[in-house]
Structure 1
Amino acid sequence: MNLVNSSSMMDAISRRVSKSKLGKLVKGYQQLKEASFISSHFGTYLTPQLASDHELRKAVFQIRHNVYCEELKFEPVAPDGLEIDEFDHYSRHCLIRHINSDELAGTVRTVRPLQSHEMLPIEKYCLSSITRHDLNPQNFDRKNVCEISRLAVPAQFRRRQMDRFAGAATGVINHQAYSETEMRCFPFIAIGLYFAAAATALESNIAHAYVMMEPRLARSMSFVGIKFEQIGPVVDYHGKRAPYYINKELLTRGMRPGFASMLNSIRKNIREQLPETERFYNDEILRFTNNNMISNRASIS
């Protein structure tokens, strides 16, 4: 179609449709295109995967050791090269796999206490920092709370210049490097990990989620329309961090259509993996982490 015909067509549409309605139609079409692109782009190159067996969980702990112990030095180096703590007993671990190379591009966990004595990391280490008493996790039944933590992206998947900045290893999005039209450059690994953690919580019907994170990470998540609610002041915990809260409504009400589509796709993928893993997940993860924590303590002593 030449420019004259195209212009004539737009004039004809404009005569039949009011300016406001035309604007809504154009915006709706653009949002539909963006939604389709974001979801398909992620699915073309990356896929979420639950750590459902011994080898995948070992890979999770190796990635975390590389990032948290060797690179960031938040935790001491372990003799076996695995970063494991007490909360892994009752956590679900997610990975993002790079389809073309078949390499694991990042990990995150959702800590899911089920017993009365099981705590969230935020409860054990930073409970006094929560000043929104109505949103204190101890107000809610154990099965209705979770915490998203230990997000880690290996260095080899942070090769781009725009991803080489402080915080990229733990998922901070350098939103100043991305414009509205540069979605091909968006850090899909980081946002895919957040969405994988969210998917595990949603599929388990968990009502309240918590995270200790840097305020700039919370701000960067607003780039995709996710508004975390800060529930306390910034404290010194592996750097300057603050407690944040989110639930299903806060997660979805302001999310841009493209990322909502991406979340739905990841959620469907996670849901399809759950039946197979739920049968042995808790017993296997407890046995694996117990054995490795005992081994680490023996090596250190």
Structure 2
Amino acid sequence: MPAFDDSNLRSGFNRYFRIDTALDGALLDEAFRLRHAVYCEDLRFEPQRPDGREYDEFDAHSIHCLLRSITPPNESVGCTRIVFANPENPELPLPFERSCADVLDRRIIDPAKLPRDRIAEISRLAVAKRYRSRKGERQAQLSIGPDDFSGTSQPRFPYIPVGLYMGAISLAIRNDIDTLFVLTEPRLASHFARLGVDIRQIGGPIEHRGTRVPSVVDVPSVVRNMRMIMRPLWHTIDEEIARSLKQR
């Protein structure tokens, strides 16, 4: 029997997971270590580091969220971050502005012309290997499918990446961000569109650890246009983010 069904996403999420804002200390360290496990050890996108932590210059002006299991073995499941404009030099490019400089269609939207304190980028989405792949799948695969629930012994909860993006949206709202950019797989972008998220491609594909496309999300419209089936999950994640910020 499936661990969850589409009509009970909230209780399914609460049964297995919690999401926190990882601002500093132990939670932020967990996020860096999970990123190292995924990006450096599993996928080998980045070189391994002696301290077992993956981070870059953008982390100094980012907010991270961390998804963890609340059932044994009580481990880190996934993480992501919102990268804000550099407060010391707001005109410096966000990560996607560097990698997509030659493919952005600035007729659709020009990040350089937007208020820099109202934009941000979601990046460094990482999901632990045992939650990312089922038996027989290649380790790099990450899908979101309505029939993709697994058994109670190891929930693969197909909405883990959606949950992380929702956590990022909640943080964006609380930091007065209107526009979020994301560099993602074309397949993942199309899945979000089917969930009611108005994610628009704003440039051509690039080769960046596979084929990626730059996209934009209007933050206020995400909650307004979200499909009803996803709203219970949104509310529980938004409440969890609010709780974690109050406990800071």
TM-score bin, normalised by smaller chain: 0.7 to 0.9
Give 5+ residue unaligned stretches, structure 1: 1-32, 278-301
What residue in structure 1 maps to residue 198 of structure 2?
A: 227
What residue in structure 2 maps to residue 119 of structure 1?
A: 93
Counterpart Cα distance in 2 of 1:258 and 1:131: 33
Give CA-to-partner distance per residue, 1:182-217, whole Å, 9 cap, x none: xx9741322211111111111212000000111011
The answer as to whether partners of 1:34 and 1:258 remain within 8 angstroms in 2 is yes
The 3-state SS of whatever aligns with 1:274 is: helix
What is the one-letter code of the residue matched to 1:175?
Answer: G
Give CA-to-partner distance per residue, 1:22-77, whole Å, 9 cap, x none: xxxxxxxxxxx955x11121112111111133222121111111111122121122
Return the match for 1:103 from 60, 75, 81: 75
Counterpart Cα distance in 2 of 1:238 and 1:39: 33
Structure whose residues are more often helix by fraction = 1
Is 2:68 aligned against 1:94? no
Q: Give the Å deviation of 1:274.
A: 2.0
Q: In the TM superposition, what are the counterparts of 1:33-182 in structure 2 within 5 Å?
A: 37-101=8-72, 102-115=74-87, 116-158=90-132, 160-161=134-135, 164-165=137-138, 167-168=140-141, 172-175=142-145, 177-178=147-148
The answer as to whether partners of 1:145 and 1:206 remain within 8 angstroms in 2 is yes
| Amino-acid identity (%) | 33
The 3-state SS of whatever aligns with 1:43 is: helix
Give the alignment's TM-score, normalised by structure 2: 0.85
Q: Give the Å deviation of 1:136.
A: 1.9
Is 2:240 aligned against 1:269? yes
What is the one-letter code of the residue matched to 1:123?
Answer: E
Is 2:168 aligned against 1:197? yes
Counterpart Cα distance in 1 of 2:103 and 2:212: 10
The 3-state SS of whatever aligns with 2:51 is: coil
Flag the structure with larger Rg. 1
What residue in structure 2 maps to residue 247 of structure 1?
A: 218
The answer as to whether partners of 2:204 and 2:214 remain within 8 angstroms in 1 is yes
What residue in structure 2 maps to residue 209 of structure 1?
A: 180
Counterpart Cα distance in 1 of 2:12 and 2:38: 26
The 3-state SS of whatever aligns with 1:129 is: coil
Counterpart Cα distance in 2 of 1:135 and 1:159: 35
The answer as to whether partners of 2:36 and 2:54 remain within 8 angstroms in 1 is yes
What is the one-letter code of the residue matched to 1:173?
Answer: S
What residue in structure 1 maps to residue 152 of structure 2?
A: none
What is the one-letter code of the residue matched to 1:153?
Answer: V
Q: Give the Å deviation of 1:166.
A: 5.5
Q: Give the Å deviation of 1:239.
A: 1.5
What residue in structure 2 maps to residue 27 of structure 1?
A: none
Counterpart Cα distance in 2 of 1:127 and 1:267: 33
Q: After TM superposition, what 4+ stretches of structure 1 lie above 3 angstroms from structure 2?
A: 158-162, 164-168, 176-179
Counterpart Cα distance in 1 of 2:92 and 2:239: 29
The answer as to whether partners of 1:175 and 1:223 remain within 8 angstroms in 2 is no
Structure whose residues are more often strand by fraction = 2
Give CA-to-partner distance per residue, 1:204-247, whole Å, 9 cap, x none: 12000000111011122234222310000111122111100001
Q: Give the Å deviation of 1:160.
A: 3.3
Counterpart Cα distance in 1 of 2:102 and 2:221: 24
Counterpart Cα distance in 1 of 2:176 and 2:220: 13
The answer as to whether partners of 1:112 and 1:147 remain within 8 angstroms in 2 is yes
The 3-state SS of whatever aligns with 2:102 is: helix
How many residues are paired up? 236
